[in-house]
Amino acid sequence: MVFSTLFFLTVFLPAVLGACWLSGSLLAWRARKNHAEMSWRPVNAILLLASLFFYFWGEGLGVGWLCLSVVANDWLARIIHSRHEERSRKIALVLLVAANLCFLGWFKYAGFLAQSVNSLLHLGVPVPHVLLPLGISFYTFQAMSYGIDVYRRETKPADSIIDFACYVTMFPQLVAGPIVRYADIETTLRNRIVSLDAISSGWSRFLFGLGKKVLIANTVASMADGVWSLADRGLGMPPLLTALGILCYSLQIYYDFSGYSDMAIGLGRMLGFSFPENFLHPYCSASVREFWRRWHISLSTWFRDYLYIPLGGNRKGKLRAGINGLVVFALCGLWHGAGIMFVVWGLWHGLFLLLEKAFASRPQKTFSLAASIPRFLIGHVYTVFVFMAGWIFFRSETTLAFATIWKSLLGLLPVSPDSRILWLDCTFRLQLALFAGVILSYPIVPALQRIAVRFCGANAALLVKSILATIVGLFSILFLIGNSYNPFLYFRF
């Protein structure tokens, strides 16, 4: 089930919110009447059932694999916690990590590994055709972080498997994040406050995220898909059209994913949870290092805490730190998809991070606009080139498509007549979406909010924000009614 569908917006979401709010109110009333402490477990059970239905709607019987993952991780984490001998705890931890990696590896990488072995060694290994469950990368990493944190004694196992299952399967962040650590919501699973302010704030955040997805990402997607469909066939395009396709894909993947994250965070607030921010205007960065502090923050943090630091981080010299960084980024690329181009995309970013650490005069600090406008602009242009060039690796499924994009961009291929039809997609709506996408990728809206609060007051600024969110939501619903093209890019990761 996709957030930006009429069924989700008009049936599923109102039903789930109503059931959780009503049951929570009744439980709170009964607790006050009996002068007892309120238990949120019945509400968590309702949320768990709703989340399993949400997943079943899109994945069918694949929900069984999700349930198996939940039960196995809960069981192994409890074993880790119950053992006092360090050797036994380590064995249980190895089993937990290995089970999760094998689970993820079979569904996501078995076919890729078989094809790679056949290509390199010509062994004729049968290639399994395995359907990839939705969101498996996200919920596997989330469950694995839980077990590792229990081993590190940074958190205790959940009081009930219902609470743990609710944590893993919670529908706002189940299939595309943000990746949430159990310690971040452990308290709110047991006791939370769902206030009118939180509901209002969450609903506005959800509507703005919906607008990002429907009004910008969906609009620019047609041009990006058209350019890469020609590249997949090796057909040349004019440099301007190729550059436009790259820009459209850069905006599509950002607003698709950040819009989803905004919707997930908004839904979490309406249910009483506080999910971590996942994007902080990454396209305004002035270094690759800053870009990765702002892009997909929950994933970057996961790789830092559970892979980079355990590998030694930067504690064992510059050479080891560089190798660790490249390993992390290669695996980060592989996490996004089973393909060599994803690995190259990760190494591309890892290489520039190494270069920045090696040649930057002050590598510990990001560039500052206030401190040096020329330096910021130079760094910003360089960073834009790095991540936009990186998206060519990311989007191109074959080396043919990758080479065609670059050759077309440089004017080294004859222009195919098939490319002319793509100019018909350059409508006023696309131009408006491009303009809005570029402008809003910079922190202009937060700056305007601060100005509005300063001169108009917090209440007036909040009212204006609510009105704008409602307008964005209405336009998004109108576009959903008239347009069936509504993919989520990160569902396939």
CB 349 within 8 A of CB 288: yes
Q: Which of 296, 336, 349, 380 is catalytic?
A: 336
CA-CA distance, 200 to 194, in Å (whole number)?
A: 10
157 prior amide bond cis, ω within 30: no
Whose CA is closest to 182, among 92, 86, 275, 101?
A: 275
84 among known catalytic residues? no
Say if residue 270 is exposed, middle or buried (CB neighbours under 10 Å; 0-12, 13-18, 19+).
buried
Residue identified by tokens 């310690």 is 183
CB 49 within 8 A of CB 67: no
User: Any bridge partners for residue 44, and if so which?
Assistant: none
CB 291 within 8 A of CB 387: yes
- What are the respective helix, strand and coil percentages of the chain, to the nearest 5? 75, 0, 25
Look up residue 476 and give its two tokens. 């998004």
> At 368, which amino acid appears?
S
Reduce the DSSP state of residue 236 to 3 states and report it: strand
Distances (CA, A) of 257 to 83, 126, 178: 40, 35, 10
CA-CA distance, 13 to 19, in Å (whole number)?
A: 10
Whose CA is closest to 162, among 30, 40, 64?
A: 40
Alpha carbon 355 to chain centroid, angstroms: 26
> Known catalytic residues?
336
